Amino acid sequence: MESVIVETAFGDFTVYEATVENAMKIIQDIESDIPEEVKNLSKKDGHNFFSKESFVKIINNILTKTNGEKASKTIEVNEEIRNELVLYCFNNKIKTPIDEYNFFKNGNPHDLSFIKNHENYQGAEFINDYMLTDARDYSVIKQNRWKEGAKESAKINYILAFVNRYVHRDVKYHLVNFQKSY
């Protein structure tokens, strides 16, 4: 069985040999379509990033759980935290249930004392989930950091899945396996 990379575009198609090198050339071709924010995030190894979506889920847990219950692995709900959060939402005109857009548009999580004083969140940057995912994927691809023993076809599929997020909606790349039959 052999594989090829197929580019389908506007009713046309092009076929490339299925190699990681060819998939990397496709990344180079679409480099200008990848947002600068994704490129910059992918270079910030070791920085303290948190998903906005996950953080808002923790905030909603604080408002709905009872004292002593865990809102996350490291934050236990108590009356003081809940009161501070309710007052914070009131002062910043954030309606409950809290959604990501309004929470980050109208306030700054670093203004909450339980976040300021929490070692995991000090200096944390809150990023949208999709940006974090794309930055991680881009970093893996650009730094050639594959799982040990990863098959070439898995690497190519990983690269093409990333590429397909940023190409025109009528252009897609696929890894196609075919078998010669006579």
Q: What is the pLDDT of residues 128-182, one digit of tens each?
A: 888 888 988 998 999 888 889 999 999 999 999 999 999 888 889 999 987 777 6
- Both 64 and 117 in one domain: the answer is yes
Same-domain check for residues 75 and 16: no
Claim to verify: residue 107 and residue 61 sit in the same structural domain: yes
Pair 54, 119 in one domain: yes
- Determine the Cα–Cα distance for residues 27 and 156; give it in Å rounded to an integer: 11
* Structural domain harbouring 95: 49-123
Q: What confidence tens digit (pLDDT) does each residue in 24-39 have?
A: 999 999 999 999 988 8
Q: What 8-state DSSP symbol labels residue 111?
A: G
Same domain as 106, residue 70? yes
User: Which one-letter amino acid corresponds to residue 140?
Assistant: V
Do 162 and 103 share a structural domain? Answer: no
Quote the CA–CA distance of 8 and 127 in Å, as a whole number: 33
Give the side-chain half-sphere CA count within 13 A for 36: 0
Contact in structure between 17 and 152 (CB atoms under 8 Å):
no
